[in-house]
Every structure is written in C-alpha cells, then in structure tokens.
Amino acid sequence: MTYGFEPVYERFRKQAPPTFEGKTDPMVEEDWLRLVEAIFDHMELNDRQRISCAAHLLKLEARIWWDVVKQTRGLNTMTWADFIQAFSKKYYSAAVLATKVDEFVTLVQGNLSVTNYAQKFDKLAKFSPEVVPTEALQVQRFMRGLKPMNSRDVKMTSAEVVSYAEVLDKALEAEYLEDRIRKDNAARREAH
C-alpha cells in the first residue's frame, strides 16, 4: 500500500516506532500499544495498514505469537480491534493483571519523589479501574499512599480538594516547601 509515492510502511518506519518482543509486563505492552496507536492515528491508517505495520514490529516471542495468530485467524477480515483483543488476551493475562492491581493497592510513596510516585500511581491505576472508578476514590487512594507529612500538608492547605490534578499540585508544592525547610535547617546547623 502506498501513500502518495511512498509505501505506507516506509512512512511508518520513519516515525521510529518501537518494536515489541513479547515480554509479560503489562506496562511494557501498554506503552508499546499506546505509542504505536499514536503513530497510526497521526498517519490516519486503516485497519489493514495498522495490522500490517504492527506485525512488522513484533520480534522474538511476540513474532511467534503472531505467526500462530496468522495460522488460526482470517487476516483478510481481521480489524484493528480484533488485533487488540487478541493481543490483550495474550499479554494481559488475569494473573499478571492481578499482580498489577495488588501492586497498585499497596503502592506508597516511600523514598520516591512525589513526581515519581504520581507516575507510578498513574501507570498502575490503568490496570485497576475497579479500585478507583471515580476521581474521588482516585484522590483518596493517592492521598493514602503519600508520605504522612505530604498528606498532612495537602489536607491542611485546602478545605476540599476536588480533583486529582489539584491533589498532585498540592503534594508537589508540599514536597518543594519541605525540601526548602530541610535545606534551611541544614544551612543553619552549618552556620553554628
């Protein structure tokens, strides 16, 4: 298939899409699929083009999986939604997803910065929609995992925090101020 004078795959390849090797980490699968779909959307590819381009990116175990899928499914009638369904069935097993849900439920900030905690929280929340089905529950879960000092500061600075974005902003501000206090105290100790 061509677009203008250049084959679609060549245009796709120039976007430097990541390959996928078939590891069983749902975060890796999620990132790969999200990046590839963003390229597909940008290029406005149809289902057949998406499947063809995605198949070129499958390596090692993922290539073996795809070879089996090709043998057992009719590729002429396969849609991109069918590809995603087969992909999800293979790489988002119930056991692996349960592990990610457990990881999310027990996630705490610990030694992580607020930024790193929020990144991990967001990635794991995707696998736990039943744990945080509303923004209010998302806020509660995020607050529960913050360091007690950060959580206290967030609660003290607002009568009612409405959104996750507000909580995150307040937690980042609390961390910044706590760091300033720590540096101030260290400078005073050195001065005496």
From the list 7, 28, 27, the residue with the least C-alpha distance to 18 is: 28
| The total number of residues written for the chain in this structure | 192
- Contacting residues for 145 by C-beta, under 8 A, at least 6 apart: 107, 108, 109, 117, 121
Is residue 36 within 8 Å of 54, Cβ to Cβ?
Answer: yes
Which of the pair, 158 or 81, is modelled with greater confidence? 81
Cα dist. 69→24, 84, 95 in Å? 17, 12, 22
pLDDT of res. 58: 92
Whether residue 2 has pLDDT greater than 50: no
pLDDT of res. 187: 86
Beta bridge partners of 58: 20
pLDDT of res. 109: 95
Q: What are the domain boundaries of the chain?
A: 2-92, 95-191
Which residue is associated with the tokens 């988002």?
92
Question: Distance between CA atoms of 161 and 164, rounded to whole angstroms?
Answer: 8
pLDDT of res. 57: 92
pLDDT of res. 112: 95
Is residue 167 within 8 Å of 121, Cβ to Cβ?
Answer: no
Question: Distance between CA atoms of 93 and 105, rounded to whole angstroms?
Answer: 18
Question: For residue 14, what is the DSSP state?
Answer: T
pLDDT of res. 105: 94
Question: For residue 73, what is the DSSP state?
Answer: S
Which whole number is the average pLDDT over 113-138? 91
Question: Distance between CA atoms of 2 and 152, rounded to whole angstroms?
Answer: 58
Kindly provide the residue ranges of all beta strands, DSSP E only, lying in the chain, ordered along the sequence. Answer: 2-3, 6-7
Cα dist. 152→40, 64, 66, 105, 106 in Å? 44, 51, 50, 20, 19
pTM: 0.63
